[in-house]
């Protein structure tokens, strides 16, 4: 690592993590085949393992969590149908309008001031169709919720929403890019979360530290349809076991270590609490939101000033900045970042 890299504390996202030497070795040693023919044993083992962890029948390996989300909603919502989600949800705000462009899907959103889902509010939004009215095909939920600060939706609310959706005949999709973090923080089993949803997409390239990859879990029939949609989107890969091996290694060696990321996020939040720009009580996992509304700063200016001092952040609103801890950030770097941000 260069001296420049040592000085920089990169808190932009947990996507900046790099494969460990052990992970690289596992990738190099992977047993591979042609996954388009379903013949890559490492991919198949990863798909089966993740599906089992999430309490579903089958899994599908995809290059990215964005593609996993989009394949899922296209499998659940017919062309011209409607998807409900939060107004700051990744699936509608940060995936290039793919649901509309590729799936012919309209979206309708709810706003939640505290970021948590309200099953009663969502129930009141469901359209059953008839006449000229759209029919709601699916509801998408983020767990954890990114832009609200990595918060964890309580299990009882997810269970209540599952009941609402089932009664209305509406599918539920979980954008579980950081579902691993909810599992580690709460101790709730992954399959307990997974069984609340018809489909679950989990990311391997964020906190788990793999270089790429995601898995979509669901029923056998749905995954068969999703495999066709993956091909249509250009996401079918050949000897993909090289990437799948990284995901398997991450589950074996990195999952429990997410707790360290959470500790570092809390340490950063506690260090900044006195300034009034962070509420430590809302730091559930590895994301810390800095609220600059009572300061002289705009988010872009603050992020630029921090960058000039070697701390990389992301502006996620006019006066909101995000910091994300991950396995490539040390305790010492968190202390340094805390000092820099306190000074600013």
Task: Tell whether the model's pLDDT for residue 111 goes beyond 50.
Answer: yes
- What does pTM read for this prediction? 0.95
pLDDT in tens, 175-207: 999 999 999 999 999 999 999 999 999 999 999
The verdict on 214 and 157 lying in the same domain is yes
pLDDT at 2: 41
Q: Is residue 239 part of a domain?
A: yes
The verdict on 149 and 176 lying in the same domain is yes
The predicted model gives 47-51 an average pLDDT of 98
The verdict on 204 and 273 lying in the same domain is no
Number of domains in the chain: 2
Domain of residue 74, CATH code = 3.40.640.10
CA pair distance 99, 69, nearest whole angstrom: 9
The verdict on 276 and 179 lying in the same domain is no
The predicted model gives 156-166 an average pLDDT of 98
The predicted model gives 290-298 an average pLDDT of 96
pLDDT at 214: 98
pLDDT at 293: 95
Q: Is residue 24 part of a domain?
A: no
The verdict on 135 and 93 lying in the same domain is yes
The verdict on 120 and 191 lying in the same domain is yes
φ, ψ of residue 64 in degrees (nearest 5): -140, 160
Q: Is residue 178 part of a domain?
A: yes
Structural domain of residue 65, as residue ranges?
Answer: 31-252
pLDDT at 7: 74
CA pair distance 125, 81, nearest whole angstrom: 14
The predicted model gives 1-25 an average pLDDT of 83
pLDDT at 235: 96
The verdict on 39 and 92 lying in the same domain is yes
Q: Higher pLDDT residue, 178 or 131?
A: 178
Instruction: State percent of the chain over pLDDT 90.
Output: 95
The predicted model gives 267-279 an average pLDDT of 94
pLDDT at 133: 83
Q: Is residue 23 part of a domain?
A: no
**How high does pLDDT run on average in the chain?**
95
The verdict on 230 and 271 lying in the same domain is no
The verdict on 138 and 164 lying in the same domain is yes
Task: Tell whether the model's pLDDT for residue 1 goes beyond 50.
Answer: no
The verdict on 136 and 83 lying in the same domain is yes
Q: Is residue 22 part of a domain?
A: no
Q: Is residue 91 part of a domain?
A: yes
Domain of residue 265, CATH code = 3.90.1150.10
How many Cβ atoms from other residues are within 10 Å of residue 282's Cβ? 17
Task: Tell whether the model's pLDDT for residue 5 goes beyond 80.
Answer: no
Task: Tell whether the model's pLDDT for residue 169 goes beyond 60.
Answer: yes
pLDDT in tens, 215-233: 999 999 999 999 999 999 9
The verdict on 229 and 324 lying in the same domain is no
Q: Is residue 243 part of a domain?
A: yes
Q: Is residue 109 part of a domain?
A: yes
Task: Tell whether the model's pLDDT for residue 324 goes beyond 70.
Answer: yes
pLDDT at 6: 52
The verdict on 169 and 220 lying in the same domain is yes
Confidence of residue 131 (pLDDT cuts 50, 70, 90): confident
């Amino acid at each position: 690592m260069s001296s420049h890299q040592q000085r920089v504390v990169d808190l932009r996202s947990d996507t900046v993590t790099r494969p460990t030497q052990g992970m690289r070795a596992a990738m190099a040693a992977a047993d591979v085949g042609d996954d388009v023919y379903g013949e890559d044993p490492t991919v198949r083992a990863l798909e089966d393992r993740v599906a089992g962890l999430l309490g579903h029948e089958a899994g599908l390996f995809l290059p990215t969590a964005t593609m996993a989300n989009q394949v899922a909603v296209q499998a659940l919502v017919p062309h011209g149908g409607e998807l409900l989600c939060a107004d700051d949800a990744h699936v509608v705000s940060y995936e290039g309008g793919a649901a509309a462009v590729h799936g012919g899907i309209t979206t309708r959103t709810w706003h939640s001031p505290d970021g948590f889902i309200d099953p009663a509010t969502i129930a009141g939004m469901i359209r059953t169709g008839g006449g000229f009215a759209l029919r709601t095909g699916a509801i998408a939920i983020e767990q954890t919720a990114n832009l609200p600060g990595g918060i964890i939706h309580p299990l009882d609310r997810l269970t209540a929403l599952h009941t609402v959706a089932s009664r209305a005949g509406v599918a539920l999709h979980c954008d579980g890019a950081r579902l691993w973090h909810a599992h580690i923080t709460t101790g709730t089993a992954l399959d307990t979360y997974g069984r609340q949803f018809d489909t679950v997409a989990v990311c391997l390239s964020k906190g788990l530290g793999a270089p790429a990859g995601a898995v979509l879990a669901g029923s056998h029939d749905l995954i068969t349809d999703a495999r066709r949609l993956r091909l249509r989107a250009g996401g079918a890969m050949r000897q993909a076991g090289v990437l799948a091996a990284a995901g398997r290694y991450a589950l074996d060696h990195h999952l429990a270590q997410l707790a360290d990321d959470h500790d570092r996020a809390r340490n950063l939040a506690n260090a900044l609490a006195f300034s009034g720009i962070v509420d430590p009580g809302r730091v559930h996992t590895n994301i810390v939101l800095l609220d600059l509304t009572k300061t002289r700063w705009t988010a872009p200016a603050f992020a630029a000033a921090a960058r000039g001092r070697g701390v990389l952040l992301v502006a996620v609103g006019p006066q909101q900045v995000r910091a994300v801890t991950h396995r490539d950030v040390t305790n010492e770097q968190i202390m340094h970042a805390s000092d820099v941000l306190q000074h600013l």
